[in-house]
Amino acid sequence: MNDNAEAIGTVEDASHAEKLHGNRVVPGPIAKASVLMPEEDILRLGLFKYYNRNRSQVHFARLPTSRTSMLAPHVDFYEFALLDGKRITATSRSRRNTAGSSLIQVRHGDEDEAYAGEIRHIFRHSQTGVAEPNDTILAHIEWMKRSDLTPLDGSEFPWNNFPQLGVDTWQFNTYADPKDESFPPVVMPLDKIHCQIARGTISHTDPPLWMTSTMDR
């Protein structure tokens, strides 16, 4: 079977899963190695915030300081990765032109609030002068925006009575500004993801909605 083809729950995924050894994440093959990030690429900003989230460790090449290391400009992109034995394929590597296997949920903030998003890239970044290990598998995530609307008549959202189902509604085809700090970071370790989610479109509402359900059961 082709390692580079998208699949979930296949024999090849099972063979990769054997490599878990207690780790939540197993990377697939590298799709593109040592790719130069454009100067204004959102990955650069995301990595800058990732490394500097607790203390200053890196700087941009155009803004050097004596106390930090220059942010390395290259990344390695992966075809896919396994999270808890389940394949995640970033939208940038999808052959099906769908986001199905890139949809994830993260718990974030003091109240452990649930956020949903699409993984755009799965990658690795080697950086000198930082505390983080260079073999960490990272995810670039585009966050969906929550909707207060319900697909049913009336204002009640019946799934609130069944929180174990993890059902939520989101604005259709709408994503958060990557610089909006009220959302989780756009770059984070893949093992910070809580679980994958399933998503459908509710088209009879005005405007249409996305509805998601968690796949952690």
Buried residues in 197-217 as b, exposed as e (16+ CB within 10 A): bebeebeebeeebbbbbbeee
Structural domain boundaries in the chain: 11-214
Q: What is the pLDDT of residues 138-187, one digit of tens each?
A: 999 999 999 988 787 666 677 777 777 788 999 999 999 999 999 999 99
Of the candidates 108, 204, 100, the one whose C-alpha atom is nearest the C-alpha of residue 150 is: 204
pLDDT per residue as tens digits for the range 104-146 = 999 998 888 999 999 999 999 999 999 999 999 999 999 999 9
pTM: 0.87
